[in-house]
Structure 1
Amino acid sequence: MSILINAALLYALNAWPTWHAVPFLTPRTAEVLGLVNASLIVGLIVNVVYLAVTSPPIWALGQLVVLAVGLAAAFQIWNVFPFDFGAYSFDWALVVRILLVVGIVGSIIGLIVQFGMLIRSLAGFSRPVPRPRP
């Protein structure tokens, strides 16, 4: 399911209708699009690898890569903040900033956990990752 979602988001952002169709995104969105696309592509590739490989070290390494690229994208979005919510009466900018902080903190925690899982799996202290049911 994740593969399909990432592919659909890539298509929506870059082919149709593109990010230009979203009224609250500014032209500065182009500055974050590279890392956002990279995050989606990495997630797509890692999930395709997971379909073929159930090795715990590969699983942990894949999660580390996905989290690292996602974290870089979140920091870039924080720094550029390509949103303009001026037409809305509610303070959506604050909500987006809070969600970005939650995502960044969660990604940092996830990186720490997955690094521990990688070390643990390389030391032989983990079971194979179960294959998803079709």
Structure 2
Amino acid sequence: MSVVDRPAGPTRRQTSAAAQRGGYVVAAIVNGVLLWLLAVEPGWRAVPFLTEDAAAVVPLVGASLAAGIVANGVYVLVDSPVVRAVGEMVVTGIGLVALVATWRVFPFAFTDPAVDWEYVTRVVLVFAMVGSVVGIVVALVRLVLALARPASAAP
């Protein structure tokens, strides 16, 4: 392969293990901050367009964030394709449950009549749910491929 034939950016194998682990730490920290903002300070009640019905959804959103923290912590310790694929399926699955609950409860009260925010929000929720299903399928395929790969061929 000549220089002209190579892809532009770094490939997965060119990314250092330290950089990957650093990314996992950053992701865990971001999820931790979001969980803190949701559950502690200022809390979900500070969001003006959320109704009290959001109380039914907040634990699921919190569980999704907590699962992301745990998964990224595990990835820091064990960075294997099998572990990442399983973690991605679990975290995305919990997120999908939270999205479906949000769709069903729909804990939003929009007051701006100039924009149909309910419609916009429902469209975003549908895209997020479809993306989650696709993400789960992709992670499942990656898991099957990682399990099918001989141990000596693993990166």
Matched, 1:60 2:85: yes
1:16-65 deviation digits (Å, cap 9, x = unpaired): 11111111000000000111010000011101111111111001000000
**5+ unaligned residues in a row in structure 2: which ranges?**
1-25
Identity of aligned pairs, percent?
A: 42
Residues 1:37 and 2:62 aligned together = yes
- Give the structure 2 partner of residue 27 of structure 1: 52
Q: Name the SS of the counterpart of 2:130 in structure 1.
A: helix
| SS of equivalent residue, structure 2 residue 42 | coil
**119-128 or 36-45, which deviates more:** 119-128
SS at match of 1:82: coil
**Paired residue for 2:96?**
71
Three-state SS of the structure 2 residue aligned to 1:74 is: helix
Distance in 2 (alpha carbons) for counterparts of 1:26 and 1:88? 18
Whole-Å separation in 2 of the counterparts to 1:80 and 1:31: 8
TM-score between the two structures when normalised by the length of structure 1: 0.90
Match of 1:86 in 2: 111
**Counterparts of 1:57 and 1:91, CA distance in 2:** 43
Superposed displacement of residue 127, structure 1: 3.8
Q: TM-score of the superposition, structure 2-length normalised?
A: 0.78
Q: Please give the alpha-carbon distance, in whole angstroms, between the structure 1 residues aligned to 2:115 and 2:106.
A: 17
Amino acid at match of 1:67: T
Misfit runs of 4+, over 3 Å = 125-128
Q: How many equivalent pairs are there?
A: 128
Distance in 2 (CA, whole Å) between partners of 1:11 and 1:54 is: 26
Q: Which residue is 2:15 aligned to?
A: none
Match of 2:8 in 1: none
Cα distance in 1, alignment partners of residues 31 and 82 from structure 2: 23
C-alpha separation in 2, matches of 1:69 and 1:36: 8
Partner of 2:133: 108
Greater RCO between the two (CA within 8 Å, min separation 6)? 1
